[in-house]
């Protein structure tokens, strides 16, 4: 066959002086000669078919190789995703376990029987209004408890006044400040009658006789409020003294012109002062003794005020003017030394006057000089400070006196005020017409950070802090703190900052384990699975203040996605001149926008009713924190609930004759910037309703210093410094084109704030701290089978 081909194509070789195998193959492929001896097909066709098959096989091999490479890439991706999916599975298992635990807790809670209380007993009485023996009367015998059910919220009736300017003024005050005012005297728990020293001919049950005139003796079945002639259940108050708004007397310097100031009235003219005078002879201290019973001796309220203002200690004798003198000493910062063990003091039994005064029997007057000289300087300043705090909190003006009296009655009657979250004074207004949440939500593309060895915590369902749970225990268990630490007894508390903790081991008993998330034995992995600590589980609310930085706000919201223990994000929209975009990031928790009427930095610290947790994380919209930093700070705050816990720290320092705000790196700090700090919600209420209004007004006027004001307030109430966590000293926003701290006058304003707030408080309450809080295993060398609590902090 081959020979025939060559013979048949002999002309091919003659015409092709140069040839190659490829050329020969190409020629052979063109031969279409039919050969029945072989397959019946020509050699050319066979070669062409073989070549096609070869190309097809090669193509399939290339495709197979590509598929193998693709499969290998998928395999590598799956291998890479296995640890991530294991973490996701672990997180899901944790969520399932948390949901099952929460379901069990809800079932147990739902089994609690809830019912309305019965009405109080109506104790029968003789029905007389004048009892022959007033000493037999007590608080319970002059109160008809059947009118004062614990569910009545203590309705107050104020008798209408038709004549007398002072009586009318006080009547208007009580009507203004009463939490639950009623116009029906028959159904009122408390009936307030105002008199100007006139003894009524009769009294009715549950009557408070508020005497703004001369004190009188009485045997009425009424509770009398006056300055003297008091029975055990009456209230000692000086209600007819002039209360002018004056600048607080500075706490410092310690020493004044006189060590002791003493004003003696005519009822003590026989008092032997020779021994007191004798005790001063070997000492170098000055004293001033004003004998008002002597002729040509100047006396009166202003003289007494000047004497007390120039004295470190004020010796006060029992007299008709005792309460007036006592209040004056508190106001001017003179430590009262009460020369009587029996003289009633205002709201005695509620206010701990031992923190601001010193009692001595008058028989120890000769020894008084030695006693007061033995006091430590820090004790004198603290007594001076507490006296001023008590005065400002309970006696500063008519409104304050009326509120304090009603609060004292409420505490004695054990009646909570009518408070629910929906009835709070700070009702938030939704930004999007009738809803707080944006009409449109965008998916957050930010993936959870799986660079860590384990997750930061479980993503449990939202849980609110238990509110108004201390409506009755606040009257006794927490009464001391209410009157003497936070100075706010006027309304029932949504939360109590330092409420009692369970003893160790409670989380393992059937009747006390509800809400606990104990940490299993181990290190980092076990730590990350539960909140642990000494309290039941809780979450926190982020409050974000924003103004004219929508893009920056979007980034801030996205960084909060999948953050453990987050309950809600509340955005305070300070852009009052424009409406917001409709679309915002959709997180794993609600994001609520609040409409405000004023672009104010004070809006950051309004205790909005939308905040349903005790813990509040105050954030600026330009703050970029790692989630593990936030979780660490939250865990630290849970153990230090009465303090500000945060990140960037600052301090105050004295240069020359003035105090300055300082942001340089230092080894001690006294402030935490509230653009990134955990704060208890109760401090938001204190800032908005109890802090001096002039501070908030100054913040509004200069658009600065709200963080300094909050640090002043918390340190003033607790006498503790804030707590710094992690190594962050600044939190800069590289994408922000505008910030308040970039203004040239920023530091000048803050220097002035330090000085002005010091004048308002009468002293600088800021406290220094020389440590920061990091996680326990931070920078600790660990065995290979252990993990750190957090990877970076």
d(CA 684, CA 616): 9
d(CA 338, CA 345): 10
Q: Work out the angle at residue 603's Cα, subtended by the Cα atoms of residues 394 and 747, and round it to the nearest 5 degrees.
A: 95
Q: Which residue has the higher pLDDT, 664 or 110?
A: 664
- Give the position of tokens 């309304």: 491
The pLDDT of residue 690: 94
The two tokens of residue 538 are 């809780």
CB 644 within 8 A of CB 674: yes
Q: What is the pLDDT of residues 272-284, one digit of tens each?
A: 788 777 777 777 7
The pLDDT of residue 109: 60
Please compute the mean of the pLDDT values over residues 283-305 and round it to a whole number: 83
Q: What residues contact residue 276 under an 8 Å CB cut-off, 6+ apart?
A: 365, 366, 368, 369
Q: Where are the alpha helices (DSSP H) in 111-207?
A: 165-177
Per-residue pLDDT for 41 more than 90? no
Q: What is the pLDDT of residues 473-482, one digit of tens each?
A: 999 999 999 9
Burial of 14 (0-12, 13-18, 19+ CB in 10 A): exposed
The pLDDT of residue 20: 60
Helices 322-332, 301-309: axis angle to 10 degrees equals: 40
The pLDDT of residue 11: 46
CB 527 within 8 A of CB 711: no
* Of 543, 533, 489, nearest in space to 507 by CA: 533
Q: Work out the angle at residue 79's Cα, subtended by the Cα atoms of residues 76 and 81, and round it to the nearest 5 degrees.
A: 110
Q: How confident is the model at residue 294 (pLDDT cuts 50, 70, 90)?
A: confident
Per-residue pLDDT for 249 more than 80? yes
- Give the position of tokens 């600044």: 730
Q: Which residue has the higher pLDDT, 37 or 189?
A: 189
Q: How many CB atoms lie within 10 A of CB 508?
A: 10
Per-residue pLDDT for 424 more than 50? yes
E-strand stretches of 514-664: 540-546, 566-573, 583-586, 591-595, 615-620, 645-646, 649-655, 658-662
Q: What is the pLDDT of residues 52-64, one digit of tens each?
A: 888 888 888 999 9
The pLDDT of residue 162: 78
Q: What is the full DSSP assignment across 233-258? A: TSEE---SS-----PPPPS--S--SE
Q: Which residue has the higher pLDDT, 197 or 313?
A: 313
Q: Using alpha carbons, list the distances in angstroms from residue 702 to 344, 595, 736, 748, 773.
A: 46, 22, 21, 11, 33
Q: What is the pLDDT of residues 575-622, one digit of tens each?
A: 999 999 999 999 999 999 999 999 999 999 999 999 999 999 999 999
Please compute the mean of the pLDDT values over residues 399-427 and round it to a whole number: 87
Task: Identify which of 336-350, 360-374, 500-514 has the greatest average pLDDT.
Answer: 336-350
Taking the CA atoms of 16, 17, 19 and 24 in sequence, report the sign of the dihedral they define.
positive
The pLDDT of residue 51: 85
Q: Using alpha carbons, list the distances in angstroms from residue 630 to 339, 391, 637, 645, 772.
A: 54, 39, 10, 10, 15
Please compute the mean of the pLDDT values over residues 7-11 and round it to a whole number: 44
Q: SS3 for 448-464, per residue? A: CCCCCCCCCCCCCCCCC
The pLDDT of residue 132: 39
Q: How confident is the model at residue 40 (pLDDT cuts 50, 70, 90)?
A: low
Q: What is the full DSSP assignment across 682-715? A: HHHHIIIIIS-HHHHHHHHHHT--HHHHHHHHHH
- Set 219, 392, 707, 748: catalytic member: 707
The pLDDT of residue 1: 43
d(CA 473, CA 362): 38
d(CA 413, CA 211): 21
Phi, psi angle pair for 350, to nearest 5° = -110, -50
The pLDDT of residue 270: 74
DSSP H or E run through 672: strand 671-672
d(CA 636, CA 483): 27
Task: Identify which of 429-443, 446-460, 723-737 has the greatest average pLDDT.
Answer: 429-443
The two tokens of residue 711 are 């640090």
Q: How confident is the model at residue 239 (pLDDT cuts 50, 70, 90)?
A: confident
Please compute the mean of the pLDDT values over residues 118-136 and round it to a whole number: 53
d(CA 491, CA 607): 15
d(CA 787, CA 456): 13
Per-residue pLDDT for 78 more than 70? yes
3-state class of 778 per DSSP?
A: coil
| Plot region of 656 (φ>0 → left; ψ -120 to 50 → alpha; else → beta) | left
The pLDDT of residue 52: 86
Per-residue pLDDT for 104 more than 90? no
Please compute the mean of the pLDDT values over residues 390-415 and round it to a whole number: 96
d(CA 603, CA 204): 47
Q: Work out the angle at residue 551's Cα, subtended by the Cα atoms of residues 571 and 677, and round it to the nearest 5 degrees.
A: 45
Q: Which residue has the higher pLDDT, 244 or 456?
A: 456
Q: Using alpha carbons, list the distances in angstroms from residue 544 to 423, 578, 624.
A: 24, 18, 12
DSSP structure class, residue 444: P
Please compute the mean of the pLDDT values over residues 205-227 and round it to a whole number: 92
Q: What residues contact residue 18 under an 8 Å CB cut-off, 6+ apart?
A: none
* Average pLDDT for the chain: 87
Please compute the mean of the pLDDT values over residues 449-470 and round it to a whole number: 79
The pLDDT of residue 148: 94
Q: What is the pLDDT of residues 730-764, one digit of tens each?
A: 766 555 555 555 567 899 999 999 999 999 999 99
Phi, psi angle pair for 736, to nearest 5° = -85, 125
Q: How confident is the model at residue 12 (pLDDT cuts 50, 70, 90)?
A: very low
CB 572 within 8 A of CB 545: yes
Helices 746-761, 693-702: axis angle to 10 degrees equals: 170
CB 465 within 8 A of CB 540: no
DSSP H or E run through 105: helix 43-110
**pTM given for the model:** 0.85
d(CA 716, CA 296): 44
Please compute the mean of the pLDDT values over residues 455-469 and round it to a whole number: 88
Q: How confident is the model at residue 219 (pLDDT cuts 50, 70, 90)?
A: confident
Q: What is the pLDDT of residues 617-630, one digit of tens each?
A: 999 999 999 999 99
d(CA 407, CA 384): 24
d(CA 570, CA 429): 12
Residue 642 among the catalytic residues: no
Please tell me whether the peptide bond between 253 and the residue prior to it is cis, using omega within 30 degrees of 0: yes
Q: What is the full DSSP assignment across 483-506? A: HHTS---SS--S--TTPPPPPTTG
The pLDDT of residue 25: 57
């Amino acid at each position: 066959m081959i020979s025939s081909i060559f013979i048949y194509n002999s002309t091919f070789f003659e015409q092709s002086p140069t040839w190659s195998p490829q050329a020969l193959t190409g020629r052979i492929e063109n031969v279409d000669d039919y050969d029945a001896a072989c397959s019946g097909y020509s050699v050319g066709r066979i070669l062409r078919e073989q070549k096609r098959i070869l190309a097809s096989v090669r193509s399939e091999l290339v495709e197979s190789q590509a598929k193998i490479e693709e499969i290998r890439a998928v395999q590598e991706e799956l291998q890479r995703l296995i640890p991530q999916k294991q973490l996701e599975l672990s997180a899901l298992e944790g969520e399932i376990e948390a949901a099952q635990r929460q379901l069990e807790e809800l079932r147990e809670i739902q089994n609690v029987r809830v019912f309305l209380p019965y009405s109080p007993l109506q104790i029968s009485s003789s029905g007389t209004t004048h009892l022959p023996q007033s000493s037999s009367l007590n608080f319970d015998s002059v109160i008809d408890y059947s009118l004062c059910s614990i569910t009545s919220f203590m309705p107050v009736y104020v008798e209408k006044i038709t004549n007398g300017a002072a009586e009318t003024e006080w009547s208007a005050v009580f009507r203004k400040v009463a939490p639950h005012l009623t116009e029906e005297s028959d159904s009122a728990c408390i009936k307030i009658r105002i008199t100007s020293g006139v003894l009524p001919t009769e009294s009715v049950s549950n009557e408070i006789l508020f005497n703004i005139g001369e004190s009188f003796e009485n045997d009425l079945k009424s509770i009398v409020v006056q300055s003297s002639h008091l029975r055990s259940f009456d209230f000692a108050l000086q209600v007819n003294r002039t209360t002018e708004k004056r600048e607080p007397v500075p706490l410092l310097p310690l020493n004044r012109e006189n060590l002791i100031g003493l004003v003696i009235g005519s009822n003590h003219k026989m008092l032997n002062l020779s021994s007191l005078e004798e005790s001063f002879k070997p000492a170098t201290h000055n004293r001033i003794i004003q004998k008002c019973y002597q002729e040509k001796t100047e006396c009166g309220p202003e003289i007494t005020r000047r004497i007390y203002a120039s004295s470190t200690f004020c010796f006060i004798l029992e007299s008709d003017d005792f309460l007036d003198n006592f209040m004056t000493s508190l106001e001017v910062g003179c430590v009262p030394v009460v020369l009587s063990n029996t003289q009633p003091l205002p709201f005695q039994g509620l206010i701990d006057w031992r923190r601001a005064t010193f009692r001595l029997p008058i028989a120890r007057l000769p020894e008084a000089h030695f006693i007061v000289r033995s006091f430590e300087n820090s004790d004198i300043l603290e007594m001076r400070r507490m006296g001023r705090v008590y005065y400002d909190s309970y006696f500063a003006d008519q409104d304050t006196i009326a509120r304090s009296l009603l609060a004292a009655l409420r505490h004695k009657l054990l009646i909570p005020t009518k408070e629910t979250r929906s009835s709070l004074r700070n009702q938030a207004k939704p930004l999007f017409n009738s809803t707080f949440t944006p009409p449109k939500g965008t998916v957050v593309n930010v993936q959870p950070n799986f660079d860590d060895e384990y997750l930061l915590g479980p993503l449990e369902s939202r849980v609110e802090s238990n509110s108004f749970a201390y409506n009755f225990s606040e009257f006794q268990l927490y009464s001391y703190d209410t009157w003497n630490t936070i100075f706010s007894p006027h309304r029932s508390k949504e939360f109590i900052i330092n409420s009692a903790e369970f003893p160790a081991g409670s989380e393992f008993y059937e009747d006390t384990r509800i809400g606990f998330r104990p940490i299993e034995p181990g290190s980092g992995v076990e730590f990350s699975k539960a909140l642990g600590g000494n309290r039941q589980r809780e979450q926190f609310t982020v409050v974000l203040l924003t103004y004219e930085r929508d893009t920056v706000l979007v980034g801030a919201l996205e960084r909060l996605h999948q953050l453990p223990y987050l309950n809600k994000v509340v955005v305070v929209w300070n852009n009052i001149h424009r409406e917001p975009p409709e679309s915002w990031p959709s997180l794993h928790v609600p994001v609520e926008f609040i409409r405000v009427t004023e672009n104010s930095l004070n809006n950051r610290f309004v205790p909005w009713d939308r905040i349903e947790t005790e813990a509040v994380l105050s954030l600026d919209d330009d703050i970029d924190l790692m989630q593990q930093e936030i979780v660490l700070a939250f865990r630290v705050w849970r153990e230090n609930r009465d303090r500000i816990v945060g990140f960037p720290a600052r301090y105050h320092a004295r240069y020359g004759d003035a105090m300055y705000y300082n942001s340089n790196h230092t080894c001690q700090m006294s402030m935490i910037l509230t653009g990134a700090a955990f704060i208890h919600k109760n401090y938001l209420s204190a800032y908005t309703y109890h802090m001096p209004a002039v501070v908030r007004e100054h913040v509004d006027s200069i658009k600065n210093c709200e963080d300094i004001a909050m640090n002043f307030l918390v340190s003033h109430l607790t006498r503790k410094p804030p707590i710094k966590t992690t190594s962050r000293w600044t939190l800069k926003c590289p994408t922000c084109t505008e910030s308040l701290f970039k203004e040239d006058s920023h530091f000048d304003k803050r220097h002035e704030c330090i000085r002005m707030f010091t004048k308002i408080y009468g002293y600088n309450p800021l406290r220094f701290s020389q440590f920061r809080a990091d996680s326990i295993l931070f920078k600790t060398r660990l065995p290979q089978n252990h993990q750190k609590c957090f990877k970076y902090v």
